[in-house]
Amino acid sequence: MEDQNVSDINIPKPPKGVMIVLEGIDGAGKTTQMTLLHDQLVKDGYDVIRTREPGGTPLAERIRGLVLDKDHDEEVHPITELLLFFAARKQHVEHVIKPALEAGKVVLCDRFVNSTMAYQVMANDLPHDLFFALMQYTVIDANTVPFATYILDISDELSIERLAERLDEQNRLDTGAAEKRALINSVTRQFAQVPGHYLIDGSRTREEVFNEIYPHMTEVIDGYLKEHNTEPSS
Ligand code: T5A
């Protein structure tokens, strides 16, 4: 084994800013809550940016257009789909998320890596090691791991009901079979067992959901900023 000095091991410091993610199956209410949470954070004086995946930069938004387009003439291979999501993510991480975290901002993001695990890896039975390799190079190396993730939990039936109200706006990934939707929803929920993930009952009114998340989220943000922004006293 080669000699290795422990001082050569580069363990990145947590960023000054904090990343918070909303996850949940289609129609769970993420976009609705993003607006309510973002607006209240701004009112309360937080330096916050709101962003989303896939997307968040001009190029990543173009990839979003491609990957969600229902009208491709050729079948999209599951690996192609996975790589497109990670391609968009790398642009987003490097050009938006990382600079914002380094500047000490709160980054509020609509969907992130859990969605890829659910919609691409688990739903298409792709190798986990491919996912984790891509995670390493896009997210972990960039030190942009979310600090808290709120999972808006609704039933498969409620998801279908809410999506039915905007049929004309559905994307390629919204139109999955019932079993696929159930699998994605189940994987989404299982993330609640991971530290830093919080399961929220998304079937309640918009106000009730907001009133549960906001006080918890601000406590998490305040605690993080206090711990990671304070200059050492000597
Ligand atoms: N995707 C994404 C992947 O496959 N892999 C990935 O890695 C990533 C990042 C994104 C698609 O990409 C896929 C997943 C998605 O299919 P999108 O349009 O951003 O596409 O899709 P969603 O993120 O699912 O957004 P949706 O609009 O479908 O759902 P939201 O944002 O969860 O729900 P929202 O807020 O738009 O609400 C839906 C409807 O319900 C109502 C709203 O008014 C709206 O009509 N509503 C409520 N009604 C009653 N009570 C409440 N509490 C309500 N909250 C919202």
Least confident of 33-42, 118-127, 162-171, 187-196: 162-171
Q: Is the Cβ atom of 85 under 6 angstroms away from ligand 1?
A: yes
Q: Is the Cβ atom of 26 under 6 angstroms away from ligand 1?
A: yes
Q: Is the pTM of this model over 0.85?
A: yes
Q: Which atom of ligand 1 has the smallest separation from the CA of 112?
A: 9
pLDDT tens readout for residues 174-202: 656 788 999 999 999 999 999 999 999 99
Q: Atom 29 of ligand 1 has which residue's CA nearest to it?
A: 27
Show the tokens assigned to 19: 């990343």
Pocket test for ligand 1, best of 120, 173, 207 (most atoms within 8 A of CB): 173
Q: Is the Cβ atom of 89 under 6 angstroms away from ligand 1?
A: no
Averaged over 85-101, what is the pLDDT?
98
**Contact in structure between 54 and 231 (CB atoms under 8 Å):** no
Which DSSP symbol is given to 133? Answer: H
Concatenate the DSSP letters of all residues of 78-114 into one string. HHHHHHHHHHHHHHHIIIIIHHHHHTT-EEEEES-HH
Give the number of other CB atoms < 10 A from CB of residue 138: 22
pLDDT classification of 142: cutoffs 50, 70, 90: very high
Does residue 4 carry a pLDDT above 70? no
Q: What is the pLDDT of residue 233?
A: 46
**Contact in structure between 158 and 203 (CB atoms under 8 Å):** yes
Averaged over 2-21, what is the pLDDT?
81
Return the closest-CA partner of residue 159 out of 38, 25, 19, 31. Answer: 25
pLDDT classification of 172: cutoffs 50, 70, 90: low
- Greater confidence (14 vs 6) lies with 14
Q: What is the pLDDT of residue 73?
A: 82
